[in-house]
A = this chain, B = another copy of it.
């Protein structure tokens, strides 16, 4: 089945929308959070566990899988779904952001990006065409165009030049595409400049994509700037295509950006925080190594319905973490990912029940700041 997106309901007093994405590997409800499985594994979790927790789609990374084990190997073994034993939808990024993050190890040319592997220093060249080809080999349900992620801060001129490259590459990505059962999303860049973001939207919608992402956020800018870009840009995007905010964010960020009309999110925060012993709740910040949890018989969050909260005390989780037990990472990850997925369920329910603005206001005023300092 080809890729399809449908808006089921649009909130009348905010930008929030309830939608459904259909892919060859199943359907999912939006707004959606995609747990990150960088190297073909959502760290510490079995796919069945993810399914039971309510994950509808996961993200995996083109850059990492291209370098190791190699996209041709994965293709020859039947594609990424079979390789990693996940039969639900998968979105793959283009490698653009990872290469951007390599800093001095990469050189951008009009043709593409020269970079050195973070694993062994070997030299590689990633072009828009290759990024599409890799993602077609992986067989992901949603592919992303290679983009030039504009750094922060950037002058208007720098952001404009960077955007020009992104737009040129978007056209080449679209032209390079061979497999039309895999969706292809364009990425809106433009830094913190609203005129450039508008220009990006106009150009990309002119080319035409199955969905549109906002990139170049969460790159060091103040949160207010990110929100301004999202608030300004999301409404410019076509209503009948999914809108994906890349790499965002805290629960509060997600709640706010849903209100601006964003449908899809991904972030390493729940998984990475879990491995560092930082656990999300709606009420307090749980840094599980703290001595105060030493003999605490309560679950991480008594209102949470996850496996970890149903079966284990903070005292046990603290013990596992202090003893450096692998199970600490498994149980903490289950909790944090479920916390995010449960938040998305509450968000969708609020939109469905015509009360998103009230939900958002209550959430922001009571809950989200808990996470913004240590977990950001």
Residue positions of A touching B, CB distance < 8 A: 39-41, 43-46, 64, 68-69, 73, 76-78, 83-85, 294-295, 297, 307, 311-313, 315-316, 318-320, 322-323, 325-327, 329-331
Contact with A77, one of B45, B297, B322 (Cβ below 8 angstroms): B297
Q: Of the candidates B44, B294, B297, B313, which one forms a contact with A327 in the assembled complex, judged by CB atoms under 8 Å apart?
A: B44
CA distance A43 to B322 in the complex (A): 14
**Most chain B CB within a 10 A radius of its CB, from A45, A64, A311, A330:** A330
Question: Across the interface, do A85 and B44 meet the contact criterion of CB distance under 8 Å?
Answer: no
Given contacts A315-B69, A319-B69, contact A43 B327 (CB under 8 A): yes
Contact between chains at B322 and A68 (CB < 8 Å): yes
Of the residues B69, B318, B327, B329, contact of A46 by C-beta under 8 Å: B327
The residue of chain B having its C-beta at the shortest distance from the C-beta of A84 within the complex is B316
| CA A294 to CA B69, docked complex, whole Å | 8
Cβ–Cβ contact A46 & B330, under 8 A: yes
Query: When chains A and B are docked, how far (Å) is the Cα of A330 from the Cα of B48?
Result: 13
A45 contact set on B, CB distance < 8 A: 327
Interchain CA distance A313-B83 in the complex, whole Å: 7
How many Å from the CB of A239 to the closest CB on chain B?
39
Q: Is the CB of A40 within 8 A of B316?
A: yes
What residues of B have a CB within 8 angstroms of the CB of A40 in the complex? 316, 319-320, 323
Query: Contact: A311 with B85, CB < 8 Å?
Result: yes
**Contact flag A295-B41 (CB < 8 Å), given A84-B316, A319-B68:** no
Contact of A73 among B77, B294, B323, B329 (CB under 8 A): B294
In the complex, the chain B residue whose C-beta lies closest to that of A315 is B77
